[in-house]
Amino acid sequence: MHRLLIAALLPVCAFAQANNIANYDLTARLDPVKKTVEGHETLRWTNISTEPVAELQFHLYMNAFRNEKSTFMKESGGQLRGDRSHNDSWGWIDVKSLRTGGADLTKSIQFIAPDDGNADDRTVIRVPLPKPLGPGQEIALDIDFHTQLPHVFARTGYHGDFFLVGQWFPKIGVFETPAQRYATKAQWNCHQFHATTEFYADFGRYTAKLTVPSNYVVGATGEGVPIQRTERETTYQFMQANVHDFAWTAQPTFRRHQRMFRASEWVSDRELDATAKRFGIARDEARLSDVNMILLLQPEHDSQADRHFRAVANAIKYFGLWYGRYPHHTITVVDPPHGGGGAGGMEYPTFITAGTSWIDTPGNGEPEEVVVHEFGHQFWQGMVATNEFEEAWMDEGFNTYSTGKVMDVAYGARTLPLRIMGIPLQFIMPTGVLKSDAIDRAGYLTGPKIDSLARMAWQYQNTQSYFVNSYARPGVMLRSLENLLGEDTMARAMRAYQQRWRWRHPAAPDFFRAVNEASGRDMTWFFDQFVNGSNVLDYRIAEASSDTVDTARGEFNGRTVTAKDAGKTDRDLKKAKKQMYETKVTVRREGEAITPVDIRFDFEKGVVERRQWNGQYRWMKYTFTKPQKLTQVQLDPDRKMLLDANFTNNSYTLDKTHLGTSIKWSSTLLFWVQWMMAAVSAMA
């Protein structure tokens, strides 16, 4: 059956190419002393809508670091994820000239603030055109610009002679047409740069010529080669199609390592056959491609090269088997230097930054989890390009879910990946090991009711809420959905969604439809509550008892049963081990969210009863009369609903000795995670 279903869900060829709307030819010259980039871009942009376009809008992301009055700096307070901007180290971008054909549009540039009206924010410009650009027409623009890099902070900048050059050129917004995502009319979607937002752009072909001092090692989006070399400077050319951004790095002390991911070595015939069977596809379609893995490491981290390469290979393998093969020829991983942590843990097409340190140890998930996570963005941001300003959870949350599954299958349980003052938490308070769903759930529980997922990223109440609702909560939501649907059904839904929306810009309803179609079920009730709503799920065992059924006294059809008669009967039954027990259990719904919930009743001698409660009313009482006592009752015994805010009230046992360990562990874990999240929030 699922073979036909998958075929119906894949109207777009799994390996189709992007509609390259915004195509860039970039040139850049790095001045490592002044920390500047002199750049030029030729942008060819196509109006694929059915409406004429009278103006263009561009992001000038680097202006977020221009002064303390930018929207980014006002919202962030000059810090991001614990990394602070350096005093008097500002970054900006100046458009020196903007021309199309014979027309000079430079003086027509206007700064706008479509989100908050901040007149001091200069991260978005509008450029009126001499005449409207008709449907299907292309415009070519020549832009000269000057970029001043800040000390590395919030994904871009320098530290000493290390440069991570991201969001460094004038970048056109997305012109949305009616029925694309949430647009009701043709309009520009070009948000300001906010403290808790990332990016949104159309796909295109990028060619970049980067000139740096000849002693520098360079890495960038796409495939690159040196095309001109002198003793003083070297120019590299990088090319990549079907991407929506371009970033690069340069440092003289990088150690460049290179290995090939060979699919035939990493993926067995058995795994290919299992993938083909699960998704109802041909074996050749399940097959992965070889990928050139490039690693730019700090010299002191040379010994960790194998760990990085293994993490990249595991990511290519499992993301490819589950969601479709990685379509590009290269992936470059950058290891920032000590002091350059603001550049770590970031994703660009075919180019990611990781992060490691001398204190990392095997088993704690670093650098492995960072590498796998940032690679995962190649799928959930690099190919399925949701609007991260408006629906951050559809990138970060999908990637949290997928990363966790890769880490669990490739590495197993890990120590808790949290740090206090840079020291891994397990060195301070040993906590054992956890799988990804427990780690994500711990993060979710720090703020389960602050906001709904469905919210503009910069409109979350605070930084903590952004992290909960962009990362942990959607990860837990997707795990819970998988538990409800079954792993195979969820896998087919995820692959179908990924394949259908590659090289496009989906919105939440597009994912909902993919799930409903793959499962054959209407899961609207689930998404309404756990994506569009913020009600908390919490069921508990209110009371439980299991008492002997005593012989009834009184008048029964002309026969009187006295207390003496009843006592004798009860003693005889006890002696013959034929006593009956009446078990009463009351379960309550403490939260406002409603889901069906399974209940398991364990009685003596291995007798088990299972029921499912629809959870609609506030409580339900269950009664059993059996020759066995109740030993334990459990709500959601299979832990399907990880969204339940309190697992400690989900079970009750008549043998109290079994309660202590689980409650103590849950409370300890939650305390430390909440402490860390509160600390991060306080720094915001």
Helices 487-500 and 2-9 cross at an angle (nearest 10°) of 30
Q: What percent of the chain has pLDDT over 70?
A: 88
Banded model confidence at residue 683, pLDDT cuts 50, 70, 90? very low
Q: Cβ(59)–Cβ(190) under 8 Å?
A: yes
Domain boundaries, the chain: 1-17+257-528, 539-640+646-654
Residue 578's pLDDT is: 77
Residue 428's pLDDT is: 41
Q: What is the DSSP string of 293-322?
A: EEEEE-GGGGGGHHHHHHHHHHHHHHHHHH
Q: Which two tokens stand for residue 440?
A: 């994500």
**Higher-scoring residue by pLDDT: 391, 81:** 391
pTM exceeds cut of 0.75: yes
Q: Which two tokens stand for residue 247?
A: 């970033």
Q: pLDDT of 202-246, one tens digit each?
A: 999 999 999 999 999 999 999 999 999 999 999 999 999 999 999
Q: What percent of the chain has pLDDT over 90?
A: 75
Residue 567's pLDDT is: 78
Dist CA 547 CA 550 (whole Å): 9
Q: Cβ(372)–Cβ(314) under 8 Å?
A: yes
- Whether the pLDDT of residue 363 is over 60: the answer is no
Q: Which two tokens stand for residue 661?
A: 């360990």
CA distances from 112 to 118, 127, 168 (A): 8, 10, 19
Report which DSSP code applies to 183.
-
- Exposure string (b/e) for 87-110, b if CB count within 10 Å is 16 or more? eebbbbbebeebebeeeebeeeee
Q: Is 154 left (phi over 0), alpha (psi -120 to 50) or beta?
A: left
Q: Cβ(298)–Cβ(354) under 8 Å?
A: no
Q: Quick one: fold of 1-17+257-528? A: Neutral Protease; domain 2 (1.10.390)
451 exposed, middle or buried (CB, 10 Å; 0-12, 13-18, 19+)? middle
Query: Among candidates 516, 509, 505, 513, which has minimal Cα distance to 531?
Result: 509
Helices 2-9 and 508-519 cross at an angle (nearest 10°) of 160
Q: How many CA atoms lie within 13 A of 55 on its CB side?
A: 16
Average pLDDT over residues 641-666: 72
- Whether the pLDDT of residue 574 is over 90: the answer is no
Q: Which two tokens stand for residue 408?
A: 């669990």
Of the chain, the end-to-end C-alpha distance in Å amounts to 51
User: What is the CA 587 to chain-centroid distance, rounded?
Assistant: 34
- Whether the pLDDT of residue 84 is over 80: the answer is no
**Higher-scoring residue by pLDDT: 577, 139:** 139
Dist CA 546 CA 584 (whole Å): 6
CATH assignment of 539-640+646-654?
2.60.40
pLDDT mean across residues, the chain: 89
Residue 671's pLDDT is: 45
Query: Among candidates 214, 225, 203, which has minimal Cα distance to 330?
Result: 225
**Higher-scoring residue by pLDDT: 178, 494:** 494
Residue 202's pLDDT is: 96
113 exposed, middle or buried (CB, 10 Å; 0-12, 13-18, 19+)? middle
Residue 54's pLDDT is: 97
Of 112-126, 128-142, 385-399, 418-432, which range is least confident?
418-432
Residue 595's pLDDT is: 96
Q: pLDDT of 456-481, one tens digit each?
A: 999 999 988 999 999 999 999 999 99
